[in-house]
Structures are given as structure tokens and as C-alpha cells.
A and B are shown apart, each in its own frame.
Chain A
């Protein structure tokens, strides 16, 4: 019995594991909450684009000796707002605007660091994530940013719900639709930046999309979807770190794959909506 307990508690005797867990839990919970809006609006591509775009800002901040997160956040938020502006003006299709802007910003990042090859290992932790390398100051930064995002979502829940669900009706009722849409894009941008150190640019989209999509299969209303998404994200972080510790594999990949596994479980077994449920039990097969 104590052996089992040792297995459970062993990873957390190490301080870098504890720090990594705290950071991963906070990031995955916030990413899932924001991710609910992202997948309901069909904006998963944005969740992929903004982390890449933020790399341009990270690289610029690196060369200038400024705070890397601040640089990344500025680049991500600017890209998000530009995407919103271009698509609101209907100059281009939404996904075309995203494709152009994010690859451009990412390429700018590569261009900047290509002049500084001796420093690139540090920056590569942003590309692939290094959750076990976070410092206490990273943890605190993440905590403050995560708290601000959650408070904003709670305060403006009514507006976010209405504008996400039915923007033309929301505008007719006098809500500031453009401001809410830009605000949501900025929140997505900031969320991706706090995910950079945990799972990295390439994988942060998974923390935004996968737990929220899992939750959508399991819940009926948006508040429940947010809570379930956060729970799936937190569980994935916890389980992923155990896998990383005992199998000695990349922590960010283990967290993301755990979330993917949860999604497939829900996809197959979600009551009423899972694949097996539709085949086996529901004659109507309604989704």
C-alpha cells in the first residue's frame, strides 16, 4: 500500500515537478475555458496561429533583451486584433487572413533569431515547451495572467455568450459587439502566450481545443462545458506529468496526448452523443 502511495507522491518530491504541475494546471484550465469560445466559433485555426505569431514577438524581445512573454503577448494580441480587423472589413476570408498573418509573424521570429544562432536553444524551449524548466517567477506570472483572464470571462460572461452565440442580435440589443469580439481575440492571444512555456508553440493549440472539444461532448450548457473542459485540462496535465516522469518522455507531448486520449474516450462513450452510444442505444442516432 505504501508502495503505491510512493508511486503517486514520488514525482512531487522534486521541486521542478511541483512547479511544472502548478504551471500546467493553471494554463490548461484557462486554455480550456477560452477554448470553449474558440471551438464554438470554429476558430481552432486561430488557436494554432496565435502561438506561432507570438514567436515573432518572443524573438524580437529576446534580441532586445526585453521580457520574452511580454514580447510574445504583444505579438499575439496584435496579430489577433489584425485578424479581427481584416475579417470584419471582409477584405479577405477569415482563414486567409489568419494564414497570411501568422506565418508572416512566425517567419519574422525565425529571421530575427537566425542572426543570433548561439542563443537559439533558449528559444527552442518556446517552440516545443519546457514545463519542467519553469521558474517560480514564471509560475507567478502565469498565475496572475490566468487569474485576470478568468476574472474577465466571469465579469463579461453575459456579453461573451451573447456575442459568440448571435452577434447580429447582440448588436441589435445594443451590446458593443466589436469590442467584445476584439476582447475575445485578445484573450485568446494572451492565453496562448502563457501556454508557450508549458507545451510550446507547436502544441499549445491542443490545450485550447482538445479539452474544450471533449467537454462539448459531455455537457449541455456553456458553463458546464467550461468547467468540464478545465477539469479535463487539469487531469491531462496531472496524468501527462506522471507519464513523463515514469516513462522519461517529453512532458508537453505527454500532457497533450493524455488530453487526446480523453477526447477519444468521450468521442466513443459520451452519453447520448458518443459514437458507440449512437450505434448501440439510440435508434434515432441524433447528435
Chain B
């Protein structure tokens, strides 16, 4: 990545309106994320987190508004954007190995009719190495644990050599140890200069380990440092009726959803 003076922005969203079939999912969403930052996209189910990630990826068009990626309003090299879908959206019974899946991260760079080369395989293996799964390369994906599944998907984004990683609910359904491992991995990637935007409804992980939080419920309720935005008032505005428990340092908040 090029040397930057000052806090270069990885992602800027400006007055984004979007939805499906006439139903509004996002209303005037605006925020920005600095390069090299671990950001949480926090909100209840149906708050538009996945829609926002799809908009950033260019898989869905906004009705209005602009998204700038690494300072450019033009669609950047889309391979700088890595993506991990929700695990429920992945077919884990498919007959592919972990290495096959990670190699798919290279496919976008290959272009039509070209096969992965030895270099692509090396890069895929290095990506597996960096998520500490090199020994599982030849495992069938259906044989992975929940935490290994998430790390395999992250490895695919790394094999793509993406700089901005968009992760849809990577923390959900994991036990505390696996969550901890995954967050350690995220922090390691941030140290390498990657920017991560992690959609989650797990507030305690974001509060403890993330640089930045975006509270989303169709609108951006707040964005900033978790310590600043995780207030009872803002969390209530975000989660509304959804009941949840939030621990911040030694305080416990009960929000209702």
C-alpha cells in the first residue's frame, strides 16, 4: 500500500438510500472508515448490514448516494475488496477442499480460460498459513469446525490480496475461544495494513477489541469509537425492541430490541 499522509479513508459512504422491490432497507446512510482500522458494523437483524456490504461490493445498486473506496468515486479494482459471506449462505457439503476454496480467491485475477498457476497455489497456501490452517489444506470443507470455516473464508479474501475486507457475521455461532482466535486474526491483519469492516450483532467483541463502530438500523444511529458510541441511549436507538445484554468494562447495559 502507498504511503499516506494523514488518515487516508478506506471507505466513505455519503447519503446512501437503497432497498429491494420498493422496500427501503437503508435511509441516508453516511459514515467513513480510516485505512488500517478494524470497524464493527453493528445492528439488529434486518437493520441493513448485509445490504450495505452488498452495496459496497457493487453487487447491489443504491437508489441514491455515493460510496468512495480508497478515495476514489469510480469503482476501484474490485479485487481490492474481499468478502466473506454469512456461513449459512455457503454450501458446506460441496465437494471441494479448503485449498480449492481459498484458490477461488485467485479466480477474479485470472480472467476467463486461465487456470490457477503454481504462483496462485503458493499465494493460496500462504493465505492458509496466515490463518493458521496450512495443515488443513486438503480437508473437505464440510469437515471443518465453525471457527475453521470462518478462517477459511478469510483466507480466500487474503488470497485475493484484498485491502478492504468486508465480513458478514463472522463471529456469530462461535464459542468464546473461536471468537477470540478470530479477533486475534483480525487484529493481525489490521497490523498488516488491512482495513476490516465486520458486520456483527455481538457488542461485547466490538466494545473490547474494535477501533470503530457503526451503529446501523436502516440509518446510521452513530459512528465513532466503541467507547464513545456504546451509550445506553444510542444502543437503545439502534436495537429498539430487541432484548440484549451489553457488558462494557465493568458495567452492564440492557438494551431492548
Binding site for B on A (CB under 8 A): 40, 155-156, 158-159, 161-162, 164-166, 168-175, 216, 219-222, 224-225, 286-287
Contacts and interface: CB of A to CB of B under 8 A. Distances in A.
B97 A221 contact: yes
B90 A174 contact: no
Contacts of B101: 165
Contact of B85 (A158, A159, A169, A220): A169
Interface residues of B, number: 33
Given A168-B85, A173-B78, A225 B107 contact: no
Contact of B78 (A156, A174, A216, A225): A174
20 contacts: A40-B91, A40-B94, A158-B116, A159-B112, A166-B89, A166-B90, A168-B59, A168-B85, A168-B89, A169-B104, A170-B107, A171-B59, A173-B78, A173-B105, A174-B108, A175-B107, A219-B95, A220-B95, A220-B140, A222-B94
A156 B107 CA distance: 11
A40 B95 contact: yes
The A interface is mostly helix, strand or loop, or mixed, namely helix
A222 to B, nearest CB: 5
Contact of B104 (A165, A168, A220, A286): A165
Contact of B91 (A159, A165, A216, A225): A165
Contacts of A159: 107, 112
Nearest to A166: B90
Contact of B107 (A162, A220, A221, A286): A162
Nearest to B78: A174
A279 to B, nearest CB: 20
A247 B104 CA distance: 50
A164 B104 CA distance: 12
A174 B79 contact: yes
Interface in B95-142: 95-97, 100-101, 104-105, 107-108, 110, 112-116, 140, 142
Q: Which of B83, B114, B140, B142 has the most CB of A within 10 A?
A: B83
